[in-house]
Amino acid sequence: MKKLLICMFVAILNIAAAPVYANDAHHQAADNQKSYSAKGEVVAVDSTLSKVKLKHDAVPELKWPAMTMFFNVADKSLLDTVKVGDQVEFEFVKVDGNGPSITKIKLAK
Ligand SMILES: [Cu+2]
């Protein structure tokens, strides 16, 4: 629970920081399209809400510690290939005001 709160706090900080980039077209475009990679384990799949809960490793680029949290998925069909307990590699983008969104997810080798 504590880690989830930290994660939400980080998300809120990122939303608060967004206007800083709004004046700089270059940075805004780069940030919106940047995707981040991480590995983790599937803890829960909610295909109705297009969300997946992952126990993910640290994401140094975002200064995220390892934690368990929900991610949105860009396309619901991404969830067809994973199930609870799977070790996965995934990529996500950050969407202003709507949390991180997974764009790719596959079984880890
Ligand atoms: Cu997290």
DSSP-assigned letter for residue 21: H
More confident residue, 69 or 11: 69
Distance 70 CA to ligand 1 centre (A): 8
Nearest C-alpha neighbor of 3 from the set 41, 58, 61: 58
Q: Where are the domains of the chain?
A: 2-107
Distance 69 CA to ligand 1 centre (A): 5
Distance 66 CA to ligand 1 centre (A): 7
Structure confidence by residue, pLDDT tens digits, 53-101: 999 999 999 999 999 999 999 999 999 999 999 999 999 999 888 889 9
Distance 56 CA to ligand 1 centre (A): 7
Instruction: Give me 108's structure tokens.
Output: 């880890």
Distance 90 CA to ligand 1 centre (A): 13
Burial class (CB in 10 A: 0-12, 13-18, 19+), 3: middle
Q: Does domain 2-107 have CATH number 2.40.50.320?
A: yes
Instruction: Give me 82's structure tokens.
Output: 């994973």
Distance 100 CA to ligand 1 centre (A): 9
Structure confidence by residue, pLDDT tens digits, 34-54: 899 999 999 999 999 999 999
